[in-house]
């Protein structure tokens, strides 16, 4: 018969509690941990620990009874409020509900009961000695590193979903653009109707919260259709791109020096002067709401040709705008550009134009003192409607022609 330990007040002590008690000292954090930061991390990773939002609300109430902001050190981490005091702190939560959530926190090894002989919660002092009976927060403190790792894993998973969702959204827009273009050059082909219908259905699906597996399935389907469409229109598309090349070369030779050397002050880390006035011949990426933005008018293959350094850092093929976005996401951390600067650039410029800017910055990385600051400066100009990525690409083409 298995022996079940009993607490002083005749409550069974679970084996999960014994594991916390027997936890080796090496697993205990070596420095104090802010209790509110720890609670936020636990809130992010709550699924991994089997606790609900209401459980965390009760835990927040208990933490509020602990006088210090930091758990750890030499301080005894026992709080001893009465049930009535806890319920009042929780805005009048029923006592039965509060006790149920407390039991769940104990079962999850985030709390441990320290019962007095009569079951009351109190602290007793005898000279310098102090004995407290109530709820011990040390299990929560001991699992701080485990909680932090679980929270980071959740953030990484959310980031993967967010990036994949953005890629699928860009692929959907590529699909709609190719369907429209294909109908113009080869009208009546059933593939264009399939592309258009798939783009509409994907847009509807993206209104919902999709899992990583769902988004991966959409990406696979859209990649297949995009490759089919590109294989059909490669011939005519190549001719049009050649025509666009000639147009951009003429524009390059007729542009003034200020357009070619875009934002020289920013490239050295200083404040930028006013942007040059927009040339009516200059193609601009339209900045609208995320679902309404169109693909930039500058040809994708011209962007790739002007940024040969990208092939050194990104080995995949880039035939569509979503692939350029994926490449920009890949090189962005290595360039020292923060996530917040990258996301702000996407909001103000659109994912496609932001991707063009990042790969163009990669090409001139040695000349840019602070890539993150440079991107933020261009983002501010884009937010004010004073930025176009066209001159940036043409300046790179000019450098290659001069070399």
Sequence-distant contacts of 131-135: CB under 8 A, at least 24 apart:
132/76, 132/78, 132/80, 133/78, 133/80, 134/78, 134/79, 134/80, 134/81, 135/62, 135/78, 135/79, 135/80, 135/102, 135/111
Three-state SS string across 48-87, please?
HHCCCHHHHHHHHHHHHCCCCCEECCCCCCEECCCHHHHH
Reply yes or no on whether the pLDDT at 150 is more than 90: yes
Return mean pLDDT, the chain: 75
pLDDT at position 113 is 85
Rounded mean pLDDT of 156-185? 85
DSSP 3-state of 130: strand
What local confidence, expressed as pLDDT, does residue 44 receive?
Answer: 92
Three-state DSSP class for 102?
helix
How many CA atoms does the CB half-sphere of 126 hold within 13 Å? 2
Burial 328-345 (b: 16+ CB within 10 A, else e): bbebbeebebeeebbebb
Q: Who wins on pLDDT, 203 or 400?
A: 203
The pLDDT assigned to 154 comes to 92
- Residue range 165-189: mean pLDDT, rounded: 82
At residue 83 the predicted structure's pLDDT band, cuts being 50, 70 and 90, is confident
DSSP state of 136: E
Longest CA–CA separation in the chain, Å: 94
**Average pLDDT, integer, range 378-392:** 85
Cα separation, 376 vs 364, in Å, equals 16
pLDDT reading at 382 higher than 80: yes
- The sign of the dihedral angle between the CA atoms of 291, 294, 296, 300 is positive
Q: For 271-310, write each residue's pLDDT tens digit.
A: 333 333 333 333 333 333 344 445 576 777 778 888 888 8
Nearest to 203 by CA among 178, 187, 222, 216: 222
Q: Give Cβ neighbours of residue 358 (< 8 Å, ≥ 6 apart).
A: 328, 331, 332, 335, 337, 342, 345, 375
Q: Is the model more confident about 31 or about 125?
A: 31
Question: Which residues face 33 on adjacent strands?
Answer: 71
């Amino acid at each position: 018969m298995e022996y079940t330990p009993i607490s002083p007040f005749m409550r069974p002590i679970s084996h999960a509690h014994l594991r916390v008690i027997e936890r080796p000292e090496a697993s205990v954090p070596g420095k104090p941990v802010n209790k509110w930061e720890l609670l936020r991390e636990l809130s992010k990773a709550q699924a991994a620990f089997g606790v609900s939002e209401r459980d965390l609300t009760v835990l927040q109430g208990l933490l509020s009874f602990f006088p210090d902001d930091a758990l750890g050190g030499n301080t005894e981490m026992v709080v001893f409020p009465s049930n009535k005091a806890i319920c009042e702190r929780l805005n009048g939560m029923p006592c039965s509900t509060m006790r149920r959530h407390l039991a769940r926190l104990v079962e999850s090894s985030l709390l441990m009961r320290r019962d007095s002989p009569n079951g009351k919660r109190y602290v007793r002092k005898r000279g310098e000695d102090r004995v407290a009976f109530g709820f011990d927060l040390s299990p929560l403190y001991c699992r701080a590193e485990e909680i932090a790792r679980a929270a980071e894993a959740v953030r990484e998973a959310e980031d993967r979903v967010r990036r994949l969702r953005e890629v699928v959204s860009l692929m959907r827009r590529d699909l709609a653009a190719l369907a429209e273009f294909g109908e113009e050059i080869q009208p009546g082909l059933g593939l264009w109707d399939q592309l258009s219908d798939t783009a509409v259905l994907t847009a509807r699906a993206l209104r919902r919260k999709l899992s990583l597996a769902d988004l991966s399935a959409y990406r696979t389907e859209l990649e297949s259709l995009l490759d089919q469409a590109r294989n059909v229109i490669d011939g005519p598309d190549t001719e049009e791109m050649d025509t666009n090349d000639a147009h951009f070369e003429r524009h390059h030779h007729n542009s003034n020096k200020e357009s070619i050397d875009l934002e020289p002050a920013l490239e050295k880390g200083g404040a930028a002067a006013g942007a040059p006035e927009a040339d009516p011949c200059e193609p601009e990426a339209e900045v609208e709401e995320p679902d309404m933005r169109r693909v930039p008018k500058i040809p994708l293959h011209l962007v790739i040709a002007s940024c040969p350094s990208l092939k050194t850092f990104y080995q995949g093929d880039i035939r569509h705008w979503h692939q350029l976005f994926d490449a920009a996401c890949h090189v962005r951390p290595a360039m020292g550009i923060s996530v917040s600067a990258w996301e702000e650039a996407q909001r103000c410029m659109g994912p496609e134009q932001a991707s063009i800017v990042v790969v163009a910055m990669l090409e001139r990385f040695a000349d840019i003192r602070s890539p993150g600051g440079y991107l933020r400066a261009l983002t501010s100009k884009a937010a004010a409607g004073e930025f176009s990525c066209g001159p940036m690409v043409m300046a790179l083409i000019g450098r290659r022609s001069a070399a």
